[in-house]
Chains A and B, each alone.
Chain A
Amino acid sequence: MLFTTAAFVFLYLPFVMAGFFLIGRFSRGAAAAWLFAASVFFYGYWMPQYTLLLLGSILVNFITGKRIGGVPREAPDWRTRAKRWLIAGVTFNLVLLGYFKYANFFVDSLAAALGRELQIERILLPIGISFFTFTQIAFLADAYQKSLREYKPTHYGLFVTYFPHLVAGPVLHHAQMMPQFQTDATYRWQFANVAAGTAIFCLGLLKKVVVADGISPYADAVFNGAAAGAMPSAAEAWLGSLAYTFQLYFDFSGYSDMAIGLSWLFNVRLPFNFNSPYKSLNISDFWRRWHMTLSAFLRDYLYIPLGGNRHGPLRRYANLAITMVLGGLWHGANWTFVFWGALHGVYLGINHAFRAVTAGISAKLDASRVFAVVSWLLTFLAVIAAWVFFRAPTFQAATRILTRMADFGGWHLDVGDNRLLWNAGLDMTRGFWVCAVLAAVTVLGPNSNLIGERLRALCERDTLRRSLAFGFAATLVVFLIVLNESRDAVSAFIYFNF
């Protein structure tokens, strides 16, 4: 069930909310169980064949976490015993992820390397497996490092399956969610949160249904054409890459806004996942602003355990590279994702090296406006170039696009030179104008997290304001759902593939 469908907004959501707050008047635990069951239904409605896999994974991780937390700290060998359980739990999760997400990839890659034909059955990717696996690995690591204890299976099940974040994040920490599930206020109807949540949901819906889906035909025309062997023109290559740059951002940040807004309806706050990433002035800044919960996960559970920056510059660069390559692989079972991650690892290495070399004049550089503009442009171009590998299904397709992007003498606006757009019935001038407007919005516009916070503050002031906000947002939600449903096909979110 997609957040952008009428079935979700007009049937599932009101029913689940009504049940949650009604049951919550009598029993906190029963309301949490209701939300857990509703979240499992949400997943099962989509992929019934993998519901048992999800529940099995939850059960194993819950028991493992309990074992880790159950080893008494005062025991002389607690670390060894807890670590054993931790390794077993992490291995279980990685095997599950490896099989369902990467088995075909590894076999295909091995076959290509050996030049032999090796075949296994095509395995259907369970939606959200990357997210619920990482969420649970983080839980096990926290149970080991911070002696977390969670003995309520419904709370744990809800923490993992909570439908706003289940299929595409944000990646959650146990410590962020559990206190909220244990608070009485969570189970009480709070109209201020409902009004603000609806408004944030509406903002995310607008980003997805209008902006991301509106610009996606330009990206699809160019990338699908290049994948089919066609050579785009220079103008098409740039337009396709820019279009995808904005499509991905508005698609994923739209999803995150929707998840945050939906969660506010249930009085649960999810962490922000984006912070205007295209305003970044360097690549480290970009990774602090893009998919923030994944970046934090990779930092806390991979980069730092690998040694972080604690063992000299060389190790630091190596750790960065390993973290980014694995981060790339997390996104998808394809070498183009690995390369995308590696490219960002190189970017980060260069950025850190530059910072080290210019340490003496860094204050001066940071104060310079010219330096800021050049830094922004360089960062933005580097990100766009990397997105080409992220979107293109093959290296050949990516190379075709990048080659033409670098062909500065090849700009022709004749129809015959821009076949991919012509055949898709798309107007190049309109495409560039849309990209220019979106660039202005992402670089100069206000941050949706800030908008959300202000809306919430506004809604908390009085009934009139919150009713006004709710009426306004709910009407727009209805309109956007009607718009989305009237199209030939309802498009899924890009990050559902990961």
Chain B
Amino acid sequence: MSPLAGLAGLAGGVAAALLALEIAFRILPVGTSTNTGYYIDPLLLTYPAGQRFTSATGWDLQNARRNHANNYGYVADHDFVENPRAIALIGDSYVEGSMLERQDRFAAQIEAQLRDRPVYSFGSPGTALLDYAERIRFASERFAISDFVLLLERGDVAQSLCGSGNVAARCLDPMTLEPRIEKQPEPGRVKQLVRQSALAQYVFSQLKLDPVRWLRSLLQREHTPTPTAALPGQKRAEHFAARVIDEFFTRTAPHRRGKLILVLVGEDTDGTQRQLREAAERHGALVIQGEPLLHAASAQTGLSTQVSPRDAHLNRLAFATLAERVAALLARAD
């Protein structure tokens, strides 16, 4: 047998293995491409209207769900139509809740508590506080919504600085602290091509493989955590946060005709929640301090309020607890 046959066999074997993996991952519930873009507004990142996609967590595809975007590209139980009685629930992946069953998500649980008012879920993963301000504007202008509930987790303020990797459009320049627009780039041809492969989606989206980092770690004896960018000093961080919060309230002021409820979750390790509470008080917004409520729920039931030890998103119990308080505040406002 010639060396050529050997090489052909080798190439055939590699191709057959890749094909087998591709078929396996097409059968398994691997997260599929979401095709996010600026479809409904130049400053809002959403899925295409009616987009169907699969989401799952981690290498073993935990909490796999098939999701369906509504007429405005949000994963929500309703199509959005103009309705002044509707409530806009705004946030990031916590609000979208694609790792939860539909009835367990935050919007569904608030709606179940309220009974007579629809809750529009404007959750968009990987976004931050100034992006939420744009969604308040959009919901107010397009759907005549006047009541807003924001779920804010640790990092939503700091991530509003441009370059944080969690910005859809509006952010503050970290040097000048002036607002600017930083949109996510259009996917290149290679990325568009790779999106078509279930194997590539698994490797880059589920495993989150970073080839450069991986090759570097190969040469290291111990696994070391990836160094994170140096945090600014406490005082500077407070200054950033104050500026972001100020920008948020300034931008949303024209659209806040009803109630604005801020639900704060996560420990206040850097004082941002305190700053948010103080600002909310000044601007007439209501605040729900989520952490004590979640601790109490956990202590009472013996159940965790996180999806899992490796997924810090909130679970059904957490949202049931918070939804009760949100509904009470909304009812009082009415």
Given A422-B303, A423-B304, 20 more pairs with CB closer than 8 A: A6-B218, A7-B221, A10-B218, A214-B60, A425-B62, A425-B308, A425-B309, A425-B311, A425-B315, A462-B1, A463-B5, A464-B1, A467-B10, A467-B12, A469-B13, A471-B14, A472-B20, A476-B17, A482-B214, A486-B208
Partner of A467, one of B5, B302, B304, B311: B5
Q: How many residues of B contact A (CB 8 A)?
A: 41
Q: A424-B308, A464-B6, A483-B59 are in contact. Are A415 and B13 (CB under 8 A)?
A: no
Q: Which residues of B contact A466 (CB under 8 A)?
A: 9
Asked whether B230 is an interface residue with its Cβ less than 8 Å from the other chain, the reply is no
Asked whether A74 is an interface residue with its Cβ less than 8 Å from the other chain, the reply is no
A-B contact pairs, 27 of them (CB 8 A): A6-B218, A10-B218, A415-B303, A416-B303, A419-B302, A423-B304, A425-B304, A425-B306, A425-B310, A427-B62, A427-B63, A464-B1, A466-B9, A467-B8, A467-B9, A468-B16, A470-B13, A471-B13, A473-B13, A474-B14, A475-B17, A476-B17, A479-B17, A482-B214, A486-B59, A486-B208, A490-B223
A489 to B1, CA, bound (A): 44
B203 and A482 form a contact (CB under 8 A):
yes
Q: Which residues of B contact A419 (CB under 8 A)?
A: 302-303
Partner of B17, one of A415, A472, A483: A472
A464 to B10, CA, bound (A): 8
B7 and A423 form a contact (CB under 8 A):
no
A483 to B206, CA, bound (A): 10
Asked whether A175 is an interface residue with its Cβ less than 8 Å from the other chain, the reply is no
A468 to B217, CA, bound (A): 31
Q: Which residues of A contact B253 (CB under 8 A)?
A: none
A11 and B13 form a contact (CB under 8 A):
no
1/0 per residue, CB under 8 A from B, across A455-498: the answer is 00000001111111111111110010011011111100000000
A366 to B183, CA, bound (A): 73
Asked whether A426 is an interface residue with its Cβ less than 8 Å from the other chain, the reply is yes
Q: Return the chain B residue nearest A488 by Cβ.
A: B310
Which 6 pairs across A and B sit closest by C-beta, in order of nearness?
A: A425-B308, A471-B13, A467-B9, A475-B17, A463-B1, A472-B13
Q: Which residues of B contact A479 (CB under 8 A)?
A: 17, 21
Interface residues of B (CB under 8 A from A): 1, 5-18, 20-21, 59-60, 62-63, 203, 207-209, 214, 217-218, 221, 223, 301-304, 306-311, 315
Q: A419-B302, A464-B1, A464-B5 are in contact. Are A424 and B309 (CB under 8 A)?
A: yes
Partner of A483, one of B5, B207, B303: B207
Chain A, range 375-431, C-beta contacts under 8 Å to B: 415-416, 419, 422-427
Min CB–CB distance A472 → chain B (angstroms): 4
Min CB–CB distance A191 → chain B (angstroms): 8
- Among B11, B12, B17, B302, chain A packs the most CB atoms within 10 A around the CB of B17
Q: Which residues of A contact B214 (CB under 8 A)?
A: 6, 482, 485-486
- Among B8, B60, B217, chain A packs the most CB atoms within 10 A around the CB of B60
1/0 per residue, CB under 8 A from B, across A291-310: the answer is 00000000000000000000
Q: Return the chain B residue nearest A9 by Cβ.
A: B218
Chain A, range 326-341, C-beta contacts under 8 Å to B: none
Q: Which residues of A contact B60 (CB under 8 A)?
A: 214
A468 and B13 form a contact (CB under 8 A):
yes
Q: Which residues of B contact A423 (CB under 8 A)?
A: 303-304, 309
B303 and A482 form a contact (CB under 8 A):
no
Q: Which residues of B contact A482 (CB under 8 A)?
A: 203, 207, 209, 214
Min CB–CB distance B281 → chain A (angstroms): 36
B5 and A471 form a contact (CB under 8 A):
no
Q: A7-B218, A485-B217 are in contact. Are A468 and B207 (CB under 8 A)?
A: no
Q: Which residues of B contact A7 (CB under 8 A)?
A: 218, 221
Q: Which residues of B contact A485 (CB under 8 A)?
A: 214, 217-218
Q: Which residues of A contact B203 (CB under 8 A)?
A: 482
Q: Which residues of B contact A487 (CB under 8 A)?
A: 59
Q: Which residues of B contact A472 (CB under 8 A)?
A: 13-14, 16-17, 20
Min CB–CB distance B321 → chain A (angstroms): 14
A464 and B8 form a contact (CB under 8 A):
yes
Q: A422-B304, A463-B1 are in contact. Are A468 and B10 (CB under 8 A)?
A: yes
A471 and B1 form a contact (CB under 8 A):
no
Q: Which residues of B contact A425 (CB under 8 A)?
A: 62-63, 304, 306-311, 315
Q: Which residues of B contact A468 (CB under 8 A)?
A: 9-10, 12-13, 16
A463 to B8, CA, bound (A): 10
Q: Return the chain A residue nearest B207 by Cβ.
A: A486
Q: Which residues of A contact B311 (CB under 8 A)?
A: 425
Q: A462-B1, A485-B217 are in contact. Are A467 and B16 (CB under 8 A)?
A: no
Q: Which residues of B contact A6 (CB under 8 A)?
A: 214, 217-218
